[in-house]
Structure 1
């Protein structure tokens, strides 16, 4: 099948609890991210702490998820400021209050 030839396996969708864990761990370490030149070791720490909570995500997956959350956050914030807040954004907005 075509799936066998796929070079990269698509990551499983993050469950809400997983996303909330990532946000809270990243926020706890926010000051370290602001003072550190390289964030790689910080994402490794977050990944390890996610694993302790039962979520098996690599440091790269955590970094990518965080970047995507920020991107979506900025987009949603812009839409809200423009008065274009749509209803399907409401579920995601619950995360943004935490960021």
Structure 2
């Protein structure tokens, strides 16, 4: 994992993210994935494999630390924003 966690307690969640993230998402150059959908997929995978889940704040900080930037994207109407991670796509199962 590149980068460093933003908060002291985040380091304990690194093994969980390293386990689940590659199982639910893959890197793609022009991809964008909704942050909440990715968070849900990671936690679903962790629960299915018998692990504890990640807090949302630690999850977002750790994904950003791995080099996947987060940005706000306008919805279809152009006024409401949603958060997404760039260069990640969910793996359809």
**How does the TM-score come out when normalised to structure 1?**
0.39
Compare CA radii of gyration and give the structure with the larger one: 1
Q: In proportion to residue count, which structure has more strand?
A: 2
Structure number with the bigger relative contact order (C-alpha 8 A, sep ≥ 6) is: 2
